[in-house]
Amino acid sequence: EAGVAQSPRYKIIEKRQSVAFWCNPISGHATLYWYQQILGQGPKLLIQFQNNGVVDDSQLPKDRFSAERLKGVDSTLKIQPAKLEDSAVYLCASSLSSVTYGYTFGSGTRLTVV
Amino acid sequence: GESVGLHLPTLSVQEGDNSIINCAYSNSASDYFIWYKQESGKGPQFIIDIRSNMDKRQGQRVTVLLNKTVKHLSLQIAATQPGDSAVYFCAENTGGFKTIFGAGTRLFVKA
């Protein structure tokens, strides 16, 4: 089966600019996750979707981050405006359901804010 | 390739030796634990999992041990190979859907 697809692979922007990341989960996976991984740390959950509804966004900095999953398939994560501390790898993962704990991760988007 | 983490705890082992990677988890209510492997430039990859009603689980060349008394988890890799070089994360789940990742350990395999 095809894996979790993410784009772009790399992005460099200046602080205060906007950026968007795209994720296409594995076909049939109802649950989609966005994680932020800062260099040297483990991934941190930003938001979880079940189909097109948000299950958990408690760690999403909502003043600058937003995410949507229209039609319950693809998802986009946006940062506006970006700060230097947003430099990280943004990982998308999917699973069959919210009670399926083993996720499949994409390769991520490496964001550098300068 | 790009580095996943530059300041992680590091374990260096000789090819063919066994590796043991340790992890301390934080929440005594966590009931499900997962080990992930992350190679440079890639997302984490599921290796093996264990539920809190078990203390040992074996896979292909890997064994996970769980000690709930001291909240400790370990991953044992038998006959370590160069392809095992990566960052290894333990993750815990507390009866729901939120999985919390540890900081990771970088494994170097010397040929």
The yes-or-no verdict on residue B18 having pLDDT over 80 is yes
Task: Give A103→chain B minimum CA distance, Å.
Answer: 7
Q: Is the peptide bond before B44 cis (omega within 30 degrees of 0)?
A: no
Q: Is the peptide bond before A61 cis (omega within 30 degrees of 0)?
A: no
Buried b (16+ CB within 10 A) or exposed e, B57-83: eeeeebbbbbebeeeebebbbeebeee
- Cα separation, A3 vs A9, in Å, equals 15
Q: Do A42 and B6 count as a contact with CB atoms less than 8 A apart? A: no
Percent of chain B clearing pLDDT 70 (strictly above):
91
Strand, coil or helix: what is B83? helix
Which position has the token pair 């789940």? B93
Q: Do B99 and A45 count as a contact with CB atoms less than 8 A apart? A: yes
pLDDT at A99: 65
The CB-side HSE value for B32 (13 A sphere, CA atoms) comes to 14
pLDDT at B108: 96
pLDDT at B3: 37
pLDDT at B94: 75
B65 - beta bridge partners? B56, B74
Residues of chain A with pLDDT under 70: 1, 98-101
> Which residues of chain A have a CB within 8 Å of the CB of B7?
40
Task: Give A97→chain B minimum CA distance, Å.
Answer: 9
Q: How confident is the model at residue B50 (pLDDT cuts 50, 70, 90)?
A: very high
User: Strands of B62-67's sheet, edge to edge?
Assistant: B19-24, B72-77, B62-67, B56-58
Q: How confident is the model at residue B26 (pLDDT cuts 50, 70, 90)?
A: confident
- Cα separation, A18 vs A78, in Å, equals 7
The sign of the torsion formed by the CA atoms of B44, B45, B47, B48 equals positive
Which among A41, A43, A103 is the nearest to B46, CB-wise? A103
Query: Do B105 and B7 meet the contact criterion of CB atoms below 8 Å apart?
Result: no
Structure tokens, B45: 């990859």
